[in-house]
Structure formats: structure tokens, C-alpha cells
């Protein structure tokens, strides 16, 4: 491996190195490929290891790299697009839904959610927990709040708990006629539960997408989905659902 000299530039050296490294990721490495160790990379670019670490940390923050314990630093897959559009609206759990239901419990929702659902302060609702995975890594976690009045025909005998009950709740929800859905997005930080589920540190940046599903003039369900900000990007178009935008694959040299 030869030595690549960096040209003098007015910006911080680690920032310029980040740009050079990003170009190398596009041209020399494939998704999932392990990068050379820090000593070899520092020698290649003629920089101190402290400067290299700053550049690598910035690329990790931007979602270009992943640091995996016991594996090393690998090239991250393309970001997943969170599409916020005005196209056809669908209930969660439909045939094209990429979310994976894992559990369903009965619980009293937080006061703000109960207010949106127009349920009593002490009224329990169905809480469906789902995950979204891309390229083998968790990228989003969702809590879907559904009032019991939205799924009155749900049978506890057929689906007493767990994934089976989650699927049963979603299946019953499909019976309703969906009038519209409303999306809102905000930047947040991962709490302890979100961090654990998304394999991030507490306080890591996340995108929180809240979706209100409306039927017959009332809120039939409310989704609060938390996305890893380092793996997702917002897209605006006609699609009214979350879609995967893989983009071109990086090829190994």
C-alpha cells in the first residue's frame, strides 16, 4: 500500500482527511468490508493516529462506518429512506409492511398519547412493539398504540400474547376503513430502552416519526417510531410509507 500525501488546505486536517476517506470508501471498499487497522491507515495518509480517529469518528457519526466489537470498523450499508409523502395511505401490518412485530401488551399509555387517542387516563390500550431491520442491523423501533375500541372483535383465546397477539391486533386493524394518516418528525436522543433496542449509546441522535391513523373522524391508532439517525434519511415524495433506498452498491477494488 503506497503513501497518499494530503494537499495543504485551510480546513481542519481531520475534516479534509474525512473527505479523502469518504472517497476511498466509495471507490475501494464494499459494504460490510473491514477497514485496515488504524496504524496502517495513518501511515497511508501520513497523519497522526489522533487525527485519523477524529476522521473515523465523524464518518461513523454520519453513518458511513460501523464500529463492531470483536470485528473492527466496517463500511456501513446505505441509509434507509424515511419517506414522508402524500401518496396512498395504508394500515400498519399490510402485505408490503417491512416492520417485524415482536410483542403486544395491554397498558395505560402516556398522558399525551392518551389525549390523542381520546381514551380515559386509566384506560388500557393495545401496545404493539415492532422492529425494522436493514442489512442485518436494527434501524428502527416502534410502539403502536391501538385503543380496544378499534379492534373490538379481537379474541384473546386465539392470540393470548406475544407475536401472535401482535399479528392478530394488526389483522383486525385492517378491517377498518382508513380515512387518512398524518406524519410528524422530530430530532431526538435515544433513551435507555431505545438505545438498547437499536444497539446505540444512550443519548445518540434519533429521528422520531409519529403517525396518526384516522378513521371515521377519530384516531384509530398512533405509531411512535424511533429511527437511528446515522442510518436513515428523510425523503419527500408521493410515497406515504417508509421505504428502503439502497442506492448503488460500493464495489471492492
Q: Do the beta carbons of residue 220 and residue 176 sit within 8 Å?
A: yes
Exposure string of 45-66, with b = 16+ CB inside 10 Å and e = fewer, is bebeeebbebbbebbeeebbbb
- CATH 1.10.10.10 intervals, the chain: 13-75
- For residues 157 and 155, give the distance between their C-alpha atoms in angstroms, rounded to a whole number: 5
Tell how far CA 195 is from the center of its chain. Answer: 12
pLDDT at 141: 94
Q: What is the CA radius of gyration of the chain?
A: 22
pLDDT at 80: 64
- The total number of residues shown for the chain amounts to 253
In the DSSP assignment, the letter for residue 237 is S
Per-residue pLDDT of the chain (253 residues; tens, 9 = 90+): 456 666 655 668 888 888 889 888 888 888 888 999 999 999 999 999 999 998 888 888 777 887 777 778 888 777 666 666 555 678 998 877 889 999 999 999 998 899 999 999 899 999 999 999 887 788 899 999 999 999 988 876 566 778 999 999 999 999 999 999 888 888 888 888 888 888 887 888 888 889 999 999 999 999 999 998 877 777 766 544 444 344 433 333 3
pLDDT at 61: 75
- 100-107 and 180-189 strand pairing: unpaired
Tell me the pTM. Answer: 0.68
- CATH 3.40.1410.10 intervals, the chain: 80-235
Judged by DSSP in three states, 228 sits in strand
pLDDT at 79: 65
pLDDT at 95: 79
Residues 6+ apart with CB under 8 A from 195: 201, 202, 203, 204
User: What is the assigned CATH class of domain 80-235?
Assistant: alpha beta
CATH topology of domain 13-75: Arc Repressor Mutant, subunit A (1.10.10)
Distances (CA, A) of 244 to 122, 133, 139, 142, 239: 38, 10, 11, 17, 12
pLDDT at 215: 94
Amino acid at each position: 500500500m503506497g503513501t497518499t500525501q494530503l494537499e495543504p488546505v485551510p480546513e481542519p486536517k481531520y475534516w479534509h482527511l474525512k473527505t479523502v476517506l469518504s472517497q476511498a470508501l466509495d471507490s475501494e471498499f464494499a459494504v460490510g468490508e473491514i477497514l485496515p487497522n488504524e496504524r496502517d491507515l495513518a501511515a497511508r495518509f501520513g497523519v497522526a493516529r489522533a487525527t485519523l480517529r477524529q476522521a473515523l469518528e465523524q464518518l461513523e457519526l454520519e453513518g458511513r462506518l460501523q464500529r463492531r466489537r470483536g470485528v473492527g470498523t466496517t463500511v456501513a450499508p446505505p441509509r434507509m429512506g424515511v419517506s414522508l409523502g402524500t401518496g396512498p395511505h395504508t394500515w400498519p401490518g399490510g402485505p408490503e409492511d417491512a416492520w417485524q412485530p415482536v410483542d403486544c401488551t395491554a397498558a395505560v399509555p402516556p398522558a399525551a398519547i392518551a389525549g390523542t387517542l381520546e381514551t380515559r387516563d386509566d384506560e388500557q390500550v393495545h401496545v404493539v412493539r415492532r422492529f425494522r431491520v436493514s442489512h442485518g442491523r436494527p434501524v428502527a423501533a416502534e410502539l403502536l398504540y391501538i385503543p380496544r375500541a378499534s379492534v373490538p372483535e379481537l379474541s384473546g383465546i386465539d392470540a393470548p400474547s406475544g407475536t401472535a397477539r401482535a399479528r392478530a391486533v394488526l389483522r383486525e386493524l385492517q378491517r377498518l376503513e382508513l380515512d387518512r394518516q398524518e406524519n410528524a418528525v422530530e430530532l431526538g436522543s435515544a433513551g435507555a430502552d431505545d438505545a438498547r433496542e437499536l444497539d446505540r449509546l444512550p443519548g445518540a441522535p434519533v429521528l422520531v416519526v409519529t403517525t396518526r391513523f384516522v378513521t371515521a373522524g377519530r384516531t384509530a391508532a398512533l405509531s411512535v417510531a424511533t429511527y437511528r439517525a446515522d442510518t436513515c434519511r428523510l425523503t419527500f415524495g408521493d410515497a406515504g410509507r417508509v421505504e428502503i433506498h439502497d442506492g448503488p452498491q460500493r464495489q471492492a477494488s
